Structure 1
Amino acid sequence: MIKIYVCDDQEIHLLAIKKIIEDAILFAEVPMQIELASTDPVEIAEHFEPSETNVYFLDIDLSNETYDGLKLAIKIRESDPRGFIIFITSHLEFGMLTFEYKLGTFDYIVKTPDPALLKNRVESTLKAIAERYQTEQVNQEQENHPKRIKFTSDYEEKYVPINELIMLEIVGNHKLQVMSKHQNFECNGSLGKLEYELPNYFFRCHRSTIINLKEVVSRSAKDEIISMSNGAELQCSRRQQKKFEKLLNEFNLQPYSK
């Protein structure tokens, strides 16, 4: 559930923004609700609670002795580091202050006399947040219920969660050695076929071996040796070295080099 908080000290602006959000919620593909909309920043500060996903639409220039928009955002960020903060204001000059305070602002919307333009900006921001929310939900679901892959031997079938696989290696004619976090075994199969079934963080470092890049512990550029989390050491072919380095960078994986 995405919970939305709105704060603007001018009621006419508060009601306008609230109406735009309410209309957007009707067509949203993810669950959303306005948790609180108020002209009083103290009320927001006292009632917001960090949850799965919070969104805060805040005016910067709030006429309040305790909080202006920036101070309210700082208060929110102290308790809710993952919340989405969106400033809505008519003061362009305040834009840089949001960066100086390192608030991780998701968007900065300038108030405009054109209601259609304001509506479009608010709806676009909510859509972007909803898309990110959906992605996080899918990732969480995959972590809780990871996809499994079936391996077949002459005697049985085994199902191994993909995220537990460390490496696959040819050990004989149509025979593979499967090494995972909890078991090692031989099975029938083809690396070529598995290469297309596995996610893109699996890499064929040699014609006889596929590795899980997330399980690489260290690499040696000098002798092209890769060390895996299960203690296995293997060689990356020369022509695959550049692709190996590129994939590590793409997935932001930087195991130390020997």
Structure 2
Amino acid sequence: MIDVYICEDDVKQLEQIQTIVRRYLMIEKLDMRIAMATADPQAILAEADNQHQRLYLLDIELGTPMNGIELAQKLRQVDVNCKIVFITTHAEMLTLTFKYQLEVLDFIIKDEPEALQARLIQILNLAQTRLTSSQHHQAAYVQFKVGEQVRSVRADEVLFIESAQVPHKLIVHMANAQFEYYGTIKQAATLNKNFYRCHKSIVVNQTCITVINKRLHQLTVSNGETIDCSVAASRALAKLVRVSKM
């Protein structure tokens, strides 16, 4: 399912865009839905994550301290794979999308209302094709927000994630590297289907487990490191993972 987010400060234009999108999705039965239509960029930003496929239709002048360009920058920091389209009267702003490397899918000028419906339909079809074709590729990667940057890592390169001593900070362990980011263990366990919360402060990649020691309540991962594992988790993993058991 692809979620469509619309941010437009003109009430009539917001309704017009919603109507065109909703009607086309209903007729064509595309696997898409309007998740939000609002004039508030903060509301859009509050919903942003990297766990869903998303298309953003943004005005540039929003009548708020945050304009559409700034909103797109913040969205791109959270979700490098989202698709962004600007719908605006400001054709001169097109160059800014290149300056800030926003990788915009399209730029629709409002001064051409007769072409708006046709362009939106083209965008919906293009977004469906692009996001669907990249779905398998995205599933093989996990994303972490490290400072102001989003770091994409192959899921099979993550051995385990553990809580750091600093509150709300996690450490990602890979075979030959590690890095820290802010998040929660609960959320880390949802990043990939192979990630399993084996301890209150540890999420392990099931595909990297080499030994399950039920006596010591420990797991050994592919680089030889051992990590703690709860009694319940060691029993569950013993059924899920075909590795040496002690």
Give TM-score, length-normalised by structure 1. 0.50
- Which residue of structure 1 aligns with residue 120 of structure 2? 122
Superposed, 1:29-44 pairs within 5 Å as 30-44=30-44
Deviations 1:10-39 (A, max 9, x none): 111111111111012113454101111101
Map of 1:51 onto structure 2: 51
Structure 1 distance, partners of 2:90, 2:129, is 29
Aligned AA (2:42): V
Q: Return the alpha-carbon distance in structure 2 between the equivalents of residues 36 and 19 of structure 1.
A: 13
CA contact under 8 A between 1:77 and 1:83: conserved in structure 2? yes
Amino-acid identity (%): 32
SS for the counterpart of 2:61 is coil
2:5 aligned with 1:5, yes or no?
yes
* Bigger Rg, structure 1 or 2: 1
Residue 47 of structure 1, CA deviation: 2.3
Secondary structure class of the residue paired with 1:63? coil
Q: CA deviation at 1:140?
A: 8.4
Which residue does 1:111 correspond to in 2? 110
Q: For 1:21 and 1:101, how far apart are their aligned partners in 2?
A: 28
Aligned CA distance change for structure 1 residues 87 and 135 (closer, same or farther; 3 Å): same
Q: How many residue pairs were aligned?
A: 140
Inter-CA distance 48–134: structure 2 relative to 1 (3 Å threshold): closer
* 1:117-154 alpha-carbon deviations (Å, 9 max, x no partner): 1000011011111122333357789x9xxxxxxxxxxx
Give the C-alpha shift of residue 112 in structure 1: 2.8
Gaps of 5+ in 2: 141-246
Distance 1:34 1:54 in 2: 10
Question: What amino acid is the match of 1:68?
Answer: N
Is the Cα contact below 8 Å between 1:30 and 1:134 reproduced in 2? Answer: no
For residue 130 of structure 2, the aligned residue among 129, 132, 144 is: 132
Within 1, Cα distance between the matches of 2:55 and 2:96?
Answer: 20
Aligned to 1:22: 22
Asked if structure 2 preserves the Cα contact closer than 8 Å seen for 1:29 and 1:130, the reply is no
2:127 corresponds to which letter in structure 1? I
Of residues 96-105 and 19-28 in structure 1, the stretch that sits farther from structure 2 once superposed is: 19-28
- The C-alpha deviation readout for 1:68-108, integer Å capped at 9, x for no partner, is 00110011011010000000101110010111000111111
- The 3-state SS of whatever aligns with 1:27 is helix
Q: Secondary structure at the match of 2:103?
A: coil
| Structure 2 residue 99 is matched with structure 1 residue 77 | no
For 1:98, what is the secondary structure of its paired residue? helix
Distance 1:133-1:74 versus aligned 2 partners, 3 A rule: closer
1:159-238 counterparts in 2 under 5 A? none
Please list every run of 5 or more consecutive structure 1 residues that lacks an aligned counterpart in the other structure. Answer: 144-258
CA pair 137-102 structure 1, distance change in 2 beyond 3 A: closer
Q: CA RMSD in A?
A: 2.1
Q: In the aligned structure 1, how far is the partner of 2:71 from the partner of 2:33? A: 21
Cα deviation per residue 1:176-197 (whole Å; 9 max; x = unaligned)? xxxxxxxxxxxxxxxxxxxxxx
**Counterpart residue number, 2:224:** none
1:97 aligned to 2:96? yes
Cα 1:113/1:50, change in 2 over 3 Å: same
Contact 1:8 1:62 in 2 (8 A): yes
Instruction: Determine the C-alpha separation between the residues in 1 that align with 2:101 and 2:137.
Output: 27
Change over 3 Å in CA distance of 1:113–1:107 after alignment to 2: closer
